[in-house]
Structure formats: structure tokens, C-alpha cells
């Protein structure tokens, strides 16, 4: 059962995550203009040297800049989480996302590709064609990550504006676990359960969804004086509690082989 924690941008936080036993340490490139960041490069090198996996999200789609960033950071995993409007290959946004993954896989065969599969909030699993999207991206992906799409805030029947426009993630809310479970059942690649996961609900998430791994960002971030999560700042106590909860759940189930998406050897993704 892999544990992935996002928004680690510094060597100090990377070291803390390694000490806590995190398996996948995720970082974010927030813009194509400022993709080159030496401290982040050092953080990713620290993860590599410790034998853990680094995962890198580009919050942009420029294939040349993404290629330069992979050459510069050498992440183990490149993670795409752009929001896709449909599962129609004729849709230019969908076609461009598929082509981007195709090009990156061809050019960097040693870098695993993670694709976020957007799922509606709990009870709104019908908001998006999540399973059809997964089917489309499966041949070009080594990992899937379920993530939550905010729905219906404005009384509409589809997705709302997301915390980062054009991308899926950092909502702090759980997705429809029924759809996530069905994705785990159907998927030929390992699935990481994400979206609103923290120490309080990770046991239930593992039990109900049976993923190959779990991910957390918002609910393991530090909070400000008003209790609002601070982007790019982790709370080590929350991460430690999450790691303990996952390890306990796995131990109670009899060890790694008896829980989650056991058909995968997730030590090494299927590239």
C-alpha cells in the first residue's frame, strides 16, 4: 500500500516525509514561466537518494517545457491532472491530453506516468464520465489517481470551478468512493485513492475502495489561524498520523499481500 503525499517543495520537507515513511513524495510546478527551481531540484534528488519515489505535477501543458523539466528534475513519476470535459477523443482538449502523454512516454520511457481521474463528489459520481476517461488513458498510464471534482455549488448539474482552474485536485473533499471502487476493479494499472483523504478517513477509504495506494494533500497541510489549509506547507503530525493509520490497516489485514489492489507489484509501475 503506497502512501503519496503532495506539495513537498523543499529539501527540509522532503527529509521530514522520508523520515515519516512516505513512499511517493509529490511536488508541483505552478507555471511554465518559472519551471526551473534549484531548491526543488535538490528536494527531488534527496528523495531519489533515499530510494523513495518522486512525483511531479506540471500545472501547464506545454510539452517542450515539460520535457525540459523532466530532464532537469529527473522525477520517477510525471503526474497529469488537467481537467477533461468529456471522454470523447474528438474533443480537442482530450485529444491534446492523450497526445501529450503519448509524447512524454515515447521520449521518457523510464519515467512513469500518473493520470488523475476526476470523479464527482460523494453522491455525484455521475457528474463526469470517469470510468470512460480511465479506459481511454489506461494504455498511456502507469498509475491512476482518483481525485475529486467539485460539483453543484451553484445549483448546476455539472462540475463547478475548481480550486486551480483547469486542473483537478486540492479540494479537500472525498470523491464518490463507489466510482473509485469500480475504477479499482476495472483498471489494468494501479489506482491511488485521493481527494479529501486524511488520518481520520484513510482506513475507511482503504476498506471501501481497495486501492493500491492512498494520497493526501489538503488535509495533511498545516493550517492558518482561521483553520484554512496553507498550500505548500505540510503538518508533519498529520502526515505521521496518516502513515500510522495506513500501516496499521495493512498490518491488521495480514500484511501487504492481503489488502488493496494486490494483483499489482507496485514496487515498480507497469512501464
Ligand X SMILES: O=C(O)c1ccccc1NCC(=O)[C@H](O)[C@H](O)COP(=O)(O)O
- Applying CB under 6 A, the residues found at the interface with ligand X are 6-7, 28, 57, 59, 81, 147, 164, 167-172, 194-197, 215-219
* Cβ atoms 118, 128 nearer than 8 A: yes
Q: How many angstroms separate the CA atoms of 126 and 130, rounded?
A: 8
Three-state DSSP class for residue 58 = strand
Smaller CB separation from ligand X, 17 or 255: 17
Nearest Cα neighbor of 74 from 54, 98, 52 is: 54
Question: Rounded to the nearest whole angstrom, what is the least distance from the CB of residue 173 to ligand X in the complex?
Answer: 6
The nearer residue to ligand X, 6 or 73, going by C-beta atoms, is 6
Please enumerate in sequence order all residues whose Cβ is within 8 A of that of 85, keeping only pairs 6 or more positions apart, or say none.
91, 93, 94
Q: What's the closest the beta carbon of residue 196 comes to ligand X, in angstroms?
A: 5
Min dist. Cβ of residue 81 to ligand X (A): 5
Is 180 or 197 the residue whose CB approaches ligand X more closely?
A: 197
> Residue 22 Cβ, how far from ligand X at the closest point, in Å?
12
In terms of CB distance, is 125 or 265 closer to ligand X? 125
How near is the Cβ of 85 to ligand X at its closest, in Å? 16
Q: Which is nearer to ligand X, 156 or 166 (CB)?
A: 166
Cα–Cα distance for residue pair 200/74, rounded to 1 Å: 33
Residue nearest to ligand X (CB): 169
We find the least distance from the C-beta atom of residue 172 to ligand X, in angstroms, to be: 4
In this complex, which beta carbon is closest to ligand X, that of residue 208 or of residue 253?
Answer: 208
* Alpha-carbon Rg for the chain in angstroms: 17
Q: Which is nearer to ligand X, 54 or 218 (CB)?
A: 218
Nearest to 173 by CA among 242, 224, 118: 118
Nearest distance in Å: CB 116, ligand X: 6
| Shortest distance in whole angstroms from residue 235 CB to ligand X | 13
Question: How far is residue 215's CA from residue 17's CA, in Å, rounded to a whole number?
Answer: 13
SS3 229: strand
Closer of 172 and 211 to ligand X (Cβ): 172
3 is written with which cell numbers?
502512501
Among all chains, which residue has been given the C-alpha cell 476526476? Answer: 118
CA dihedral 46, 43, 25, 20 (to 10 degrees): 60
**Cell 537518494 -> residue:** 49
Amino acid at each position: 500500500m503506497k502512501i503519496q503525499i503532495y506539495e513537498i517543495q523543499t529539501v527540509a520537507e522532503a527529509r521530514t516525509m522520508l523520515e515519516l515513511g512516505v513512499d511517493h513524495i509529490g511536488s508541483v510546478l505552478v507555471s511554465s514561466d518559472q519551471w526551473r527551481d534549484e531548491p526543488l531540484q535538490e528536494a527531488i534528488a534527496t528523495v531519489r537518494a533515499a530510494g523513495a519515489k518522486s512525483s511531479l505535477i506540471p500545472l501547464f501543458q506545454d510539452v517542450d517545457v515539460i520535457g525540459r523539466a523532466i530532464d532537469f528534475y529527473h522525477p520517477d513519476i510525471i503526474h497529469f491532472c488537467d481537467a477533461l470535459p468529456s471522454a470523447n477523443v474528438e474533443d480537442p482538449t482530450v485529444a491534446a491530453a492523450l497526445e501529450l502523454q503519448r509524447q512524454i512516454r515515447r521520449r521518457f520511457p523510464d519515467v512513469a506516468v500518473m493520470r488523475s481521474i476526476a470523479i464527482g463528489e460523494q453522491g455525484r459520481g455521475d457528474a463526469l464520465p470517469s470510468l470512460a476517461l480511465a479506459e481511454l488513458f489506461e494504455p498511456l498510464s502507469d498509475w491512476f489517481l482518483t481525485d475529486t471534482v467539485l460539483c453543484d455549488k451553484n445549483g448546476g448539474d455539472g462540475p463547478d470551478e475548481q480550486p486551480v482552474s483547469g486542473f483537478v485536485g486540492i479540494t479537500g473533499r472525498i470523491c464518490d468512493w463507489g466510482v473509485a471502487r469500480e475504477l479499482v476493479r476495472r483498471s489494468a494499472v494501479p489506482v491511488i485513492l485521493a481527494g479529501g483523504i486524511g488520518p481520520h478517513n484513510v482506513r475507511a477509504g482503504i476498506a471501501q475502495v481497495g486501492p493500491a495506494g492512498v494520497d493526501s494533500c489538503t488535509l495533511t497541510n498545516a493550517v492558518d489561524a482561521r483553520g484554512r489549509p496553507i498550500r505548500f506547507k505540510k503538518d508533519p503530525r498529520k502526515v505521521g498520523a496518516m502513515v500510522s493509520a495506513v500501516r496499521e490497516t495493512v498490518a491488521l489485514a495480514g500484511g501487504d499481500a492481503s489488502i488493496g489492489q494486490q494483483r499489482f507489484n507496485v514496487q515498480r509501475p507497469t512501464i
